[in-house]
Amino acid sequence: MAPPLLTALDSIGHVHLVVGSNPLASARCSKSIEVGAKPKVIAPADADFHYVLAKRIEDGDVEWIKKNFEDAHLSTLGRVEVDNVVDAVFVTANGKNAESTHISSLCRRMRVPVNVVDAPNLCTFTLLSTHSDGPLQIGITTSGKGCKLASRIRREISSSLPPNFGTAVERLGVVRRRIWEEDHRIYETEEQATEVEDDDATAQRPSFNRLVSETDHNAAKTRRMRWLSQICEYWPLRRLASITDADIDTILQSYTAPSDLVPPPLDAPHLDTRSRPKPMIILAGSGPGDPSLLTMATHRAIQMASVILADKLVPAPVLDLIPRRTLVHIARKFPGNADAAQAELLSLGLEALQKGHTVLRLKQGDPYIYGRGAEEYSFFREKGYVATVLPGITSALSAPLFAAIPPTHRSVADQVLICTGTGRRGAAPDPPTYIPTQTVVFLMALHRLSSLVNALTGTGPTMESCESESKPKPWPRETPCAVVERASCPDQRVIRSTLQHVCTAVEEEGSRPPGLLIVGWSCEVLVEMKGRGRWLVEEGFAGFEVLDSGPDGVAGLVKGKNVDSPSRNE
């Protein structure tokens, strides 16, 4: 069965017809009042009322129509501006009987949404189990499979949020509005911004960060708005929840131009300033995502550091391991600001070292694989601080594993190449030559996937510009490949395809950064693609549940989807 369309319905001033007077009718009326609607109860003059409902009627919050239900009620008790048709009907007693069946079919005919207790077939809508915290609303439905379960899921989800998260949502909404208004003013006088830049850290266009309304479109292109999108995406919820008005003022003031970037003082009153006699700098990798992929050494460094300077891509569950007392700064890397953000981190690190702190520079994956790790090592060494470098599990080699792709496999692949998909100034780099027994992993490659794939298959301008003698051998278009996104995170996604179809696949499925591309015949060692369509999408991370759930444990299920190709685009 197709899932229902979940919506948030503005119900202010709507007329809700509640048929019945029992405790459920009372609950429905309360809910209606809560959302600004006007409940009208239909019940005969001699009906027994739930005491809360009786009180609401007495107080004038609920109107009582002292009659049995009549068809005409649907078209006479509603708002004048909608020709007196009621906005929704709740039948609260008796489930499926002749009267409720009649009301339901009448409502359907009149396009009035109707809900009948205990009779899913008679409902055109159901209510969600909701968690409400200011502007933050969370609704759960199990599509009628169990309301107790829905409420348990709601409780679990809401308890995983930091306390009073609604306040943070409110505050971030205000910031967003403020930035939008200011940027809009600037835009009225300035030229339109140029094309949206790519994200330096993921080398992807984070489509979700551009999920803004049409009118916001121009503003979203501006730096501060993008910064806000990025912190909403990458900061741990706990950090977002504790965002203060002072934080916001600093952000708004410091982002008028990249050159204005002023690092927040390390000894600001709310920050921990425990000095240590001997400053230390540790450069460590945090792995691809799941916190259990941290090394014990990095975990220990997280516990002992007094200042942590983290990359934007360091996964939230890893940041959650940081003790509360520790000062944390997350890189303010957003498109177009990579160098300024990097300089800011380095100067914060230096400042902290000079104050005697133990500084942990926490980087995503492995610090020396496209992480500017060695640059940082050199920077601190020049200033007299020699970093201890701790390795991390790189996404380049772990993402293939989590996608069931062995980068080497006897008689299939005997070498692995790790490449960037983004060359100097964002152009596609020269492609590696075709070696049938090689697995190539491209990082930072998904934002300009088509130029990379064209270059690889010898159909793009990069190939044409190559000198003929150094011209790499093109990769066959039927070479299997896979896009692995957010490897080891709960929302991991794998798209298996071939060089021929992978661009269409990514275009149609959208992007979920960070992600990488794996190319080579090793992609088919464990997963057969033949006859399974142009591409195959697998959602979710099976994780290490098997380790948690004892000898009988079964790793989490990975949901799959085949995209078939009746007409192959040859």
Enumerate binding residues for ligand SAH (CB under 6 A). 201-203, 288-289, 313, 363-366, 369-371, 394-396, 399, 443-444, 484-488, 514-516
Backbone torsion region of residue 365, taken as left when φ is above 0, otherwise alpha when ψ lies between -120 and 50, otherwise beta = left
Helix 245-254 and helix 223-234, axial crossing angle in degrees, nearest 10: 140
Given the complex with ligand SAH, which of 20 and 365 has the nearer CB atom?
365
| Least Å from the CB of residue 209 to ligand SAH | 14
Which residue reads 């201890």 in tokens? 388
296 by DSSP, 3-state: which? helix
Which residue reads 């379960």 in tokens? 149
Given the complex with ligand SAH, which of 37 and 313 has the nearer CB atom?
313
| Least Å from the CB of residue 314 to ligand SAH | 10
Given the complex with ligand SAH, which of 138 and 297 has the nearer CB atom?
297
| Least Å from the CB of residue 556 to ligand SAH | 17
CA-CA distance, 457 to 471, in Å (whole number)?
A: 12
| Least Å from the CB of residue 432 to ligand SAH | 16
Task: Extract the runs of DSSP E, i.e. beta strands, from 339-434.
Answer: 358-363, 388-390, 415-420
Q: Which strands form 415-420's sheet, in the order they lie side by side?
A: 415-420, 438-443, 515-519, 480-485, 493-498, 535-539, 559-563
| Least Å from the CB of residue 378 to ligand SAH | 17
DSSP letter at 365 equals B
Given the complex with ligand SAH, which of 82 and 321 has the nearer CB atom?
321
| Least Å from the CB of residue 157 to ligand SAH | 23
Name the residue type at position 544: F
| Least Å from the CB of residue 529 to ligand SAH | 20
Given the complex with ligand SAH, which of 154 and 447 has the nearer CB atom?
447
Given the complex with ligand SAH, which of 140 and 516 has the nearer CB atom?
516
Contact call for residues 377 and 389 (beta carbons, < 8 A): yes
Given the complex with ligand SAH, which of 13 and 490 has the nearer CB atom?
490
Contact call for residues 375 and 344 (beta carbons, < 8 A): no
| Least Å from the CB of residue 447 to ligand SAH | 9
Given the complex with ligand SAH, which of 485 and 538 has the nearer CB atom?
485
Q: Which residue is nearest to ligand SAH (CB)?
A: 365
Given the complex with ligand SAH, which of 203 and 251 has the nearer CB atom?
203
CA-CA distance, 508 to 498, in Å (whole number)?
A: 15
Could you give the maximum distance between any two Cα atoms of the chain, in Å?
97
DSSP string for 206-246: -GGGG---GGGHHHHTSHHHHHHHHHHHHS-HHHHHT--HH
CA-CA distance, 175 to 225, in Å (whole number)?
A: 9
How does strand 388-390 pair with strand 280-285? parallel
CA-CA distance, 394 to 368, in Å (whole number)?
A: 9
Given the complex with ligand SAH, which of 421 and 458 has the nearer CB atom?
421
Burial 74-113 (b: 16+ CB within 10 A, else e): beebbeeeeeeebbbbbbbbbeeeeebeebbebbeeeebb
| Least Å from the CB of residue 341 to ligand SAH | 14
| Least Å from the CB of residue 58 to ligand SAH | 59
DSSP letter at 120 equals G
Contact call for residues 359 and 347 (beta carbons, < 8 A): no
Given the complex with ligand SAH, which of 103 and 399 has the nearer CB atom?
399
Given the complex with ligand SAH, which of 28 and 363 has the nearer CB atom?
363
Given the complex with ligand SAH, which of 39 and 373 has the nearer CB atom?
373
| Least Å from the CB of residue 165 to ligand SAH | 25
Residue 282 C-alpha from the chain's centroid = 30
For 266, the token pair is 């390390």
| Least Å from the CB of residue 437 to ligand SAH | 23
Contact call for residues 258 and 223 (beta carbons, < 8 A): yes
Given the complex with ligand SAH, which of 87 and 290 has the nearer CB atom?
290
Residue 109 C-alpha from the chain's centroid = 40
CA-CA distance, 169 to 163, in Å (whole number)?
A: 12
Q: Report whether the peptide linkage leading into residue 323 is cis, meaning its omega lies within 30 degrees of zero.
A: no
| Least Å from the CB of residue 279 to ligand SAH | 25
| Least Å from the CB of residue 306 to ligand SAH | 24
283 by DSSP, 3-state: which? strand
CA-CA distance, 283 to 390, in Å (whole number)?
A: 6
